[in-house]
């Protein structure tokens, strides 16, 4: 089944008009891909600085001037900035193109392939970071090299900015949106760590998504405290009982449903795919976003959980200090994915209300900044659609809001509209292995992504020969 699906997909991605140029750049891209996958850019090991140094060398060897290639060390890692200047006087502000170089750890004993070596087998590229996010990063690098070599004349600067700690602290993204903002002064940003397409195993196209919004990531500790005592003399006000009751109230609570331009567009696209009462609920929610019953029915579908509202769920528990003593402390960590436009403070206040007066609610110093959805820019939507439709003419384009956070959240919070526009695709659910064992990307998806980024950037930057 998989072989037949891949044969179908391979046939679909033949692009006759650009094949000769693509072949040359496929060789370059594969060489870079192999080199960066081999670098163990886990924060605790390498800190991504080796990848920044390697790519800086690639750009300089290709003729990019020293002043347009910068490695920016910070914390335990580094960022990379590369500028392709406008040809003559710029007529528009720069486009920022972002990705991240760091990856999550891979336990080699769990993998069937070496995680930090690019392996090509059965139509796939395997390796940690092959999809998240070195596949997209290499497509961006290769496209910048190609535009430079071909002498395309752009109407604005293109500024590549790769960070080294997206998977951990997000310090690079924070610096990129504030301290380093003068290095790009971007009108908007394109994110290689978002977007992409999905197919079923039989070759059915599910569509390509453009990420225009993200939920805010935030965590809180709910803490119950008590004088404790000997377990042979139970107290009525046990800290574990108090915490359990608070978590029961959280479990029963649903945040109010919400909608924005991104999620509205998502639901409009999804409604025809869901027959019966789910489709009816989606249409009712589009018509009236305050329709709680419709939102609840939508959220009952596993694939639609979290699409209509903020969610908070307990993820860690600790309590007590001895098996024969009453607990003096009991703590639950609650992780929230907050709908755009809602503040962390508002969510914390609601958690405190649900927890009750005897439970202390403490925000944890983790997460991403609060953001609104980016506007659905027609030029970006058109360029993304052109990149997709050059290879998959009938593919549906769907704006979406991601539940997880990327570096793009920091840019949106700083007023820079950001769009996840990568063109990698995979077969669902088989290829959904980011952060997991045997992470992989279809070979044709990797090479097709080069075409995708080239089309997008030449359209958006007004490039001509």
DSSP, collapsed to helix, strand or coil, labels residue 185 as coil
Topology given in CATH for the domain delimited by 216-255+310-363: Alpha-Beta Plaits (3.30.70)
**Alpha-carbon distance 313 to 67, whole Å?**
47
Strands (E), 320-417: 325-326, 329-338, 359-363, 397-402
What residues are paired with 220 via a beta bridge? 334, 363
Domain coordinates of the chain in residue numbers? 2-214+372-460, 216-255+310-363
Structure tokens at 39: 């670098």
Asked whether the whole model's pTM tops 0.85, one would answer yes
Residues of the chain predicted below pLDDT 70: 1-22, 463-465
Strand duo 188-199 + 418-427: pairing = parallel
What is the tens place of the pLDDT at every residue in 145-176?
Answer: 999 999 999 999 999 999 999 999 899 999 99
Topology given in CATH for the domain delimited by 2-214+372-460: Aminopeptidase (3.40.630)
Nearest to 96 by CA among 357, 435, 351, 419: 419
Q: What is the pLDDT of residue 64?
A: 98
- The gap from C-alpha 53 to its chain's centroid, in whole angstroms, comes to 24
Q: What is the pLDDT of residue 368?
A: 83
Same fold, 2-214+372-460 and 216-255+310-363: no
Q: What is the pLDDT of residue 47?
A: 74
Q: What is the pLDDT of residue 76?
A: 87
Q: What is the pLDDT of residue 4?
A: 35
């Amino acid at each position: 089944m998989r072989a037949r699906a891949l044969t179908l997909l391979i046939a679909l991605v033949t692009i006759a008009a650009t094949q000769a140029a693509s072949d040359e750049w496929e060789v370059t891209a594969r060489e870079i891909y192999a080199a960066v996958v081999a670098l163990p850019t886990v924060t605790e090991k390498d800190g991504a600085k080796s990848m920044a140094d390697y790519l800086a060398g690639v750009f300089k060897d290709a003729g990019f001037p020293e002043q347009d290639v910068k490695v920016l060390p910070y914390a335990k890692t580094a960022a990379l900035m590369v500028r392709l200047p406008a040809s003559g006087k710029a007529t528009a502000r720069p486009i920022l193109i972002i990705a991240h170089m760091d990856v999550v750890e891979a336990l080699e004993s769990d993998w069937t392939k070496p995680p930090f070596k690019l392996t090509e087998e059965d139509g796939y590229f395997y390796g940690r970071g092959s999809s998240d996010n070195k596949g997209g990063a290499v497509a961006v690098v290769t496209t910048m090299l190609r535009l430079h070599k071909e002498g395309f004349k752009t109407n604005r600067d293109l500024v590549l900015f790769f960070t080294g700690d997206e998977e951990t602290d997000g310090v690079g993204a924070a610096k990129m949106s504030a301290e380093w903002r003068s290095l790009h002064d971007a009108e908007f940003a394109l994110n290689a760590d978002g977007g992409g397409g999905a197919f079923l195993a039989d070759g059915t196209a599910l569509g390509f998504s453009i990420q225009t919004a993200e939920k805010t990531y935030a965590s809180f500790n709910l803490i119950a405290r008590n004088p404790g005592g000997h377990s042979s003399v139970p107290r009525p006000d046990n800290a574990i009982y108090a915490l359990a009751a608070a978590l029961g109230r959280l479990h029963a609570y649903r945040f109010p449903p919400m909608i924005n331009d991104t999620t509205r567009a998502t639901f409009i696209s999804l409604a025809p795919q869901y027959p019966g009462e789910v489709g009816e609920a989606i249409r009712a929610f589009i018509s009236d976003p305050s329709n709680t019953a419709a939102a609840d029915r939508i959220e009952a579908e596993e694939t639609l959980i979290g699409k209509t509202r903020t969610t908070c769920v307990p993820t860690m528990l600790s309590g007590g200090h001895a098996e024969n003593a009453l607990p003096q402390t009991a703590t639950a960590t609650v992780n929230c994915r907050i709908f755009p436009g809602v503040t962390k403070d508002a969510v914390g206040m609601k958690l405190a209300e649900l927890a009750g007066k005897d439970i202390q609610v403490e925000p944890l110093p983790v997460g991403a900044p609060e953001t609104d959805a980016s506007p659905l820019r027609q030029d970006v939507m058109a360029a993304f659609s052109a990149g997709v439709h050059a290879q998959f003419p009938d593919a549906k384009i769907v704006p979406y809001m991601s539940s997880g956070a990327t570096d793009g959240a920091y840019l949106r919070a700083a007023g820079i509209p950001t769009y996840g526009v990568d063109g990698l695709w995979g077969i669902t659910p088989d290829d959904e292995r980011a952060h997991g064992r045997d992470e992989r990307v279809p070979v044709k998806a990797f090479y097709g992504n080069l075409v995708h980024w080239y089309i997008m950037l030449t359209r958006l930057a007004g490039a001509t020969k």
